[in-house]
Amino acid sequence: MNALSRIVIIGSGAAGMSAASRAKRLKPSNDVIVIDSSRWVSFAFCGLPYLVGGEVKDLDELLYYPPSEFTKRGIDLRLNKTVIEVDPDSKKLIYVDNSTGTKESLEWDKLVLATGARSKAPKLWPEIRGARNVFYIVHMESGQQIRDYARSLGPGKRAVVIGAGYLGLEMADNLAKLGLKVTIIEALGQVAPRMLDPELAKIVEDNIRSKGVEVVTGAAVERFNIINNTATEVVTSKGTYQGDMFVVGVGIEPNNELAKQLGLKLGQSGGIIIDERTLTSNPDVYAAGDVTEHKDLVTGQLVWRPFAQIANKMGHVTGSNLGGVDSVFLGSVGTSAFKVFDVVAARTGLSASEASKVGFKPVEVSLEAGTKAHYIPGGSKISLKVVADEKTGRLLGAQAVGFDETAFWRINVVASLLTRGGTVWDLFNADYGYQPLLSPVWDPLVIAARLLMRTFGERPW
Amino acid sequence: MNALSRIVIIGSGAAGMSAASRAKRLKPSNDVIVIDSSRWVSFAFCGLPYLVGGEVKDLDELLYYPPSEFTKRGIDLRLNKTVIEVDPDSKKLIYVDNSTGTKESLEWDKLVLATGARSKAPKLWPEIRGARNVFYIVHMESGQQIRDYARSLGPGKRAVVIGAGYLGLEMADNLAKLGLKVTIIEALGQVAPRMLDPELAKIVEDNIRSKGVEVVTGAAVERFNIINNTATEVVTSKGTYQGDMFVVGVGIEPNNELAKQLGLKLGQSGGIIIDERTLTSNPDVYAAGDVTEHKDLVTGQLVWRPFAQIANKMGHVTGSNLGGVDSVFLGSVGTSAFKVFDVVAARTGLSASEASKVGFKPVEVSLEAGTKAHYIPGGSKISLKVVADEKTGRLLGAQAVGFDETAFWRINVVASLLTRGGTVWDLFNADYGYQPLLSPVWDPLVIAARLLMRTFGERPW
């Protein structure tokens, strides 16, 4: 080994490139090498639906920075190369060039696993492997392939989207924008099942249906029927649905092959368990992003949350620690959001039923209110639920569905309070601004607090 | 006195009607009487600019509820009656009917002062009292008068607005919407001087000017020149400005005449000092809304903040206490916002210079960032400043100016953290949602936190 400290980062997505940039910038003597099996760096998977729908014109627009930017920063990028072996004892790895098949080995002082998540689709339904019209997100090209295929079909043909989570819904929205007829198939009994309570999900579903999209819930996909490498229909527990193309928007898992090779401690999801400095159970191996589990700040339990903003923060923390700045990622509270068709939905923390499951005694309030002053034309309604703990008055979570961006922002406000252990009285007292064009004088958040205080009383305990 | 507890509330605005409704609802045996010199109840002064501009068609739309609603709730409304005498010893007051001149007296068990604020304009410039084309906000009718006069002038005539605070700016915006030429005169050196730092105010000012509005700063109004009851020009320290109508949007003060008669303890602003239950220095007199001072949760000092959302909360607390539910208003952190022309501006807590004045050692960061994912068309820029305390890492305040509503909401997020004593590390860790159509993956708030952590380090102390 040379005198430099060599940091090898596997994975060039949000977490990997955040870590790489920071480790190099804080300590230029670090030798930072990033290896990825794709040709892409610093890519935004979350933008793929908008590439499909055409709002984003070109795949390159989805890069936060082009590869050249990282090379300029002194980072050694080795793209289109797949790591096939890692050995924790010799601290050596072997990667293969995807084009030439050439193998190379590389030693590390510190390793960072930022290998992200992968689709379970080909494992769940092996028959789709050869099918040219069944898609799922593997790499950035997947977005382009979906778009190109959808355009080649043209308006009037039918796309079947498997899964009504946020990715499935966003894909459905964007496929509909291209003029395709769209069917959404969801195994559970409602859309956005991991995010929203049924009555809020209903608002989303009604809006989607009103756009002519067929929504089928309670339909578990059993198999795809494929003729001549072309899927013609999907067989579900509820019936068979025909389509001209199929997009699988469900079923991802931590991409943990290398973590297993390294013998790292994994959590229940298969994600790598890391400490607050993002260090794994191996003191020379960090991990960040979608391949890791982290702490939920409401329950204290480990969770797997493959979200880009969390991956970026984690990567930042990893890079800081590798650059000599003591840094911590404390956890998250489970904030997520989507915007599909006319609807904005967001949630943070726990639902009442989730709260019960982990031992809280939840008190829940529910309301519908205007998002702007009542006398301002163009305001809309927000449906809001807030959950608090009966024993302490601590806020546990909130969900909102509305027709403007304030549903997202009101949930961000609750998320901030959750991060800080806020209570129902904080929800009342928090000094939200008021301006008639922007909000009503009694903000829905304050109305929710007032409803909660019927149970908790109006003076903080 | 009868067996009932008689609660007399002076003032039928936000605070008064909140208190009345709640006191009656929680304890129907309360005899609740509300007296006001106007004909209006539960009115939204903040909506008057939109009545002027035409977005709000009719004055009645600005009522949160019509008077009949309160009568239905069992509240005894005595409108168009002015209280002229209150005696704390006999617990008796005298009011006069504005139409008939009849006097009546009334005893109370508990009195609530919700007398609001009043314009200092006629005191500052006595010559405007008789002028038919100089306007300031007295009651709801003021808005209608401004609108009617502006419409009678018609497009092309010039309106001069005195004061570039949020009311002045909103009036200017709405007068411009009617086709008038508009001049804004501000005594201090920038627009929004009590709200924004100069460099953020500049963004607002540039946008206003780009709409053809003349903005004159550093021009203190000395007097109005009036001919035949018509003001023709305003003389300032910087020159004389002609106009066809004049709207004074500055200089309000607590309407504390009756508070003085009662011998209540007043703060530096002239606002009534109340405790957290909204009780004044007289144990039988509560006060709520724009006539009171309350505690700033960042500095611990008493402040006067005549904002409708605060008045509503205070009135709620007063009403709860009168209804037998122990309730507290803990204070505010100084969140305010406006939207004028294309700009949304908001602030919370302290600016760096305000923080220095009260003994903090502020660390300030400043940035400009996109409000949406970079690849989503239609995003805009937000300019954001965040201030924290060097000694503790506690957040002290933030300001934002942008061209969409997210400037308002990002400030609300900081306000929530301030209410809860949040730190720079909370600003980083708070789990804001991410969705490309709604926000960038590195939220400007997180970028601000990262900049602050350059000073504070990345691990919470």
Query: Which residues between 350 and 389 in chain B have a beta carbon less than 8 angstroms from any beta carbon of chain A?
Result: 373-377
Q: CB B313 to CB A375 under 8 A?
A: no
Q: CB A334 to CB B309 under 8 A?
A: no
CA dihedral A119, A120, A122, A127 (to 10 degrees): -130
Amino acid identity for residue A454 in this structure: R
Q: CB A409 to CB B412 under 8 A?
A: yes
Q: What angle do CA A356, A358, A361 make, to 5 degrees?
A: 35
Mean pLDDT in residue range A406-422: 97
Q: What are phi and psi of A408, to 5 degrees?
A: -60, -45
How far apart are the CA of B421 and the nearest CA of chain A, in angstroms? 9
Query: Which residues between 400 and 419 in chain A have a beta carbon less than 8 angstroms from any beta carbon of chain B?
Result: 405-406, 408-409, 411-413, 415-419
B454 in A contact zone (CB under 8 Å): no
Of A68, A81, A61, the C-alpha closest to A11 is A81
Find all residues with CB under 8 Å of B326, minimum gap 6, and list them.
Answer: A457, A458, A459, B277, B320
Q: Which residue of B has its CA nearest to A48?
A: B436
Mutate to test the interface with B, among A195, A276, A278, A375 (most CBs of B within 10 A): A375
Q: Mind listing the pLDDT tens digit for each residue in A132-174?
A: 999 998 888 899 999 999 999 989 999 999 999 999 999 999 9
Q: CB B433 to CB A408 under 8 A?
A: yes
Hey, how many other C-beta atoms are within 10 angstroms of the C-beta on A88?
15
Q: CA of B104: how far to CAs of A121, B71, B94, in Å? A: 81, 20, 6
pLDDT score at A154: 87
How far apart are the CA of B320 and the nearest CA of chain A, in angstroms? 8
N-terminal to C-terminal alpha carbon distance within chain A:
60
Of A383, A389, A382, A384, the C-alpha closest to A352 is A389
How far is CA B150 from its chain centroid? 24
Of the candidates B328, B335, B421, which has its C-beta nearest A431's C-beta? B335
Q: CB B375 to CB A56 under 8 A?
A: yes
pLDDT score at A65: 85
Structural domains of chain A ordered from first start: 5-44+64-115+253-322 (3.50.50.60), 121-250 (3.50.50.60), 346-456 (3.30.390.30)
Q: CB A435 to CB B330 under 8 A?
A: no
B284 in A contact zone (CB under 8 Å): no
Mean pLDDT in residue range B224-231: 97
How far apart are the CA of B108 and the nearest CA of chain A, in angstroms? 25
How much of chain B exceeds pLDDT 90, in percent? 92
Mean pLDDT in residue range B230-238: 98
Q: How many CA atoms lie within 13 A of B153 on its CB side?
A: 23
- Angstrom distance (rounded) from CA B98 to CA B107: 20
Decide if pLDDT at A408 tops 90: yes
Q: Mind listing the pLDDT tens digit for each residue in A230-242?
A: 999 999 999 999 9
Of A60, A343, A119, A339, the C-alpha closest to A246 is A119
Q: CB B430 to CB A409 under 8 A?
A: no
pLDDT score at B3: 54
Q: What are phi and psi of A331, to 5 degrees?
A: 140, -170
Q: Are strands B30-35 and B5-10 parallel, antiparallel or unpaired?
A: parallel
Q: Mind listing the pLDDT tens digit for each residue in B175-215?
A: 999 999 999 999 999 999 999 999 999 999 999 999 999 99
How far apart are the CA of B402 and the nearest CA of chain A, in angstroms? 13
Decide if pLDDT at A2 tops 60: no
Of B346, B348, B345, the C-alpha closest to B331 is B348
Of the candidates B334, B408, B422, which has its C-beta nearest A435's C-beta? B408
- Angstrom distance (rounded) from CA A43 to CA B78: 66
Q: Mind listing the pLDDT tens digit for each residue in A241-276?
A: 999 999 999 889 999 999 999 999 999 999 999 999
Q: Which residue of A has its CA nearest to B331?
A: A429
Which range is least confidently modeled, A45-54, B180-189, B306-315?
A45-54
pLDDT band, residue B2 (cuts 50/70/90): very low
For residue A396, the SS3 value is strand
Residues of B in Cβ contact (< 8 Å) with A409: 405-406, 409, 412-413
Of the candidates B61, B377, B433, which has its C-beta nearest A55's C-beta? B377
**Tokens 């992003």 found at:** A289
pLDDT score at A210: 98
CA dihedral A392, A415, A14, A304 (to 10 degrees): 40
Decide if pLDDT at A1 tops 50: no
Q: At what angle do helices B308-322 and A444-456 cross, to 10 degrees?
A: 20
pLDDT band, residue B140 (cuts 50/70/90): confident
Hey, how many other C-beta atoms are within 10 angstroms of the C-beta on B222?
12
pLDDT band, residue B243 (cuts 50/70/90): very high
Decide if pLDDT at B154 tops 60: yes
Q: Mind listing the pLDDT tens digit for each residue in B5-57?
A: 999 999 999 999 999 999 999 999 999 999 999 999 988 888 999 999 999 99
Between A1 and B16, residue with greater pLDDT: B16
Of the candidates B47, B431, B437, which has its C-beta nearest A419's C-beta? B431
A144 in B contact zone (CB under 8 Å): no
**Tokens 């068309």 found at:** B377
Residues of A in Cβ contact (< 8 Å) with B329: 429
Structure tokens at A386: 């807030």
Q: CB A406 to CB B411 under 8 A?
A: no
Of A444, A442, A445, the C-alpha closest to A369 is A444
- Angstrom distance (rounded) from CA B306 to CA A282: 58
pLDDT band, residue B380 (cuts 50/70/90): very high
Please state, rounded to an integer, the average pLDDT across all residues of chain A.
Answer: 96
**Total residue count of chain B as it appears in this document:** 461
Residues of B in Cβ contact (< 8 Å) with A305: none
Q: CA of B149: how far to CAs of A116, B129, B135, B180, B347, in Å? A: 65, 16, 10, 11, 33
Q: CB B62 to CB A422 under 8 A?
A: no
How far apart are the CA of A62 and the nearest CA of chain B, in angstroms? 6
Q: Which of A33, A46, A84, A302 is catalytic?
A: A46
Residues of A in Cβ contact (< 8 Å) with B377: 55
Q: What are phi and psi of A35, to 5 degrees?
A: -115, 135
Hey, how many other C-beta atoms are within 10 angstroms of the C-beta on B351?
23
Strands (E), B277-335: 285-287, 292-295, 302-303
Q: CB B431 to CB A417 under 8 A?
A: no
Q: Mind listing the pLDDT tens digit for each residue in B388-447?
A: 999 999 999 999 999 999 999 999 999 999 999 999 999 999 999 999 999 999 999 999
Q: Mind listing the pLDDT tens digit for each residue in A358-388?
A: 999 999 999 999 999 989 988 899 999 999 9
Query: Which residues between 227 and 266 in chain A have a beta carbon less than 8 angstroms from any beta carbon of chain B?
Result: none
Residues of A in Cβ contact (< 8 Å) with B416: 413, 416-417, 422, 426, 430, 432
Decide if pLDDT at B90 tops 90: yes
Of A340, A357, A349, A353, the C-alpha closest to A427 is A349
Give catalytic residues of B, as residue numbers: 46
| Residue A297 burial (C-beta neighbours within 10 Å; 0-12, 13-18, 19+) | buried
B420 in A contact zone (CB under 8 Å): yes
pLDDT score at A3: 54
Of the candidates A47, A317, A430, which has its C-beta nearest B373's C-beta? A47
- Radius of gyration for chain B, computed over Cα atoms and rounded to the nearest angstrom: 23
Q: Mind listing the pLDDT tens digit for each residue in A100-115?
A: 999 999 999 999 999 9
Q: Which residue of B has its CA nearest to A320?
A: B458
Strands (E), B350-426: 362-370, 381-389, 395-402
